[in-house]
Structure 1
């Protein structure tokens, strides 16, 4: 698996590409516009240099070599010789269902497809392809380069060989997989999205401020980050889409999205990536004030 395709150059996709490149893989990173790709290249360069300066990596990172290992492109045809694809597009069935048939056509027959999704069922995504046995889910945690564990989700048709291939690739990235069954939200987001949604309701109803909600979790429970700071890190828009997917999938009112989340997304308050969410952030996305 020397060559890996990564679809989507947002926060997650960029983090996946960075992790693959520093692990020694050649990466083809695809997004819809050159501006997005240029912005991601700048972000990856900055994060690699910062990680080297603060000693965040066990081995020295050659920033220039890692960036040279990534091909930034808008052309799906550049995936013609990849061995593995990790898809990170927006958490939307309408968007994802347009991507997989294209991947199926351009990627070689042996290529494995991994959906980096937090909520959509893997079996449903695999049905969009002619290679369901070679499709599975890998739910990376954010920020990808810093998180050593992922959820790995086989679909109904996924073969043990495909799971083993994914685990081998993840091992080269220094990541361990926890294999769970295919269900909307899997394990992490079935719990986390409910927690974040309920925390948003507390702010929406005036029960507590965002600062107070997170302080309960960090001070009383010892969590390194509160649920609303976590929402800002993931992206409030992504949180909303994930909750909506769970609500649609289970038809259960407990997943009813908090109106505050919808209002924040409409206002462009999406968290760290827009420098304002439940909390405010500085020009580099670091927390400035709470």
Structure 2
């Protein structure tokens, strides 16, 4: 069962192969979502400073009845934190909001502040500063692993040229019809596990007839197909839901997509309109 399987990061830390994303789940609702997920068997919860629900996530984990050390929690340094001082303070703020002694993994949410995401300024110096803050927190035992999110090749290289600890993950947008093969391969070649957020394309995959047809062939839902697709690419999917029934079915992915169907899915025409999510720069950038 996928909920019991783990990847091993480059520093030897184990991370469950399927996580619960919490984007768009309010701080008031997220504690119950976390408790539901953990009751089902999830042991990996993904949050972020920008989600404004870290305190609720911490509350849910304390109330879930499972030992803290048996749950892997990721949070993210806000995209706007581009100085050592800001990033270091934000790490301590996340620890305080979660009410944890340590965080399993912390990653830089974006190489650019969201308001500047489509602009040309790469923020290389700011990212090196934020990375230094993560390295120091890691060495101090506040963090068990550190990584990146939404980083392209040049952004990754900027960190690798100056770091003393290499990033352990790159969390990026990956789903059927949006599979950045070169970035995935480059991240993996540099020793990073690739995490796939929005593995169901923010719900847009549900509208695609050819994808629905393949899901029907395997007697699974489109979300199950999307999650399995990411797993077969060697990625760690992070489906987001507050619905306990969806959490359960999202973890029922013990089937295998054939090589032929995988090739077809890798080449499905790219989604260009993510509906309500298109207001967010990561979905609107192309």
TM over 0.5: no
Relative contact order: is structure 1 or structure 2 higher (C-alpha 8 Å, sep ≥ 6)? 2
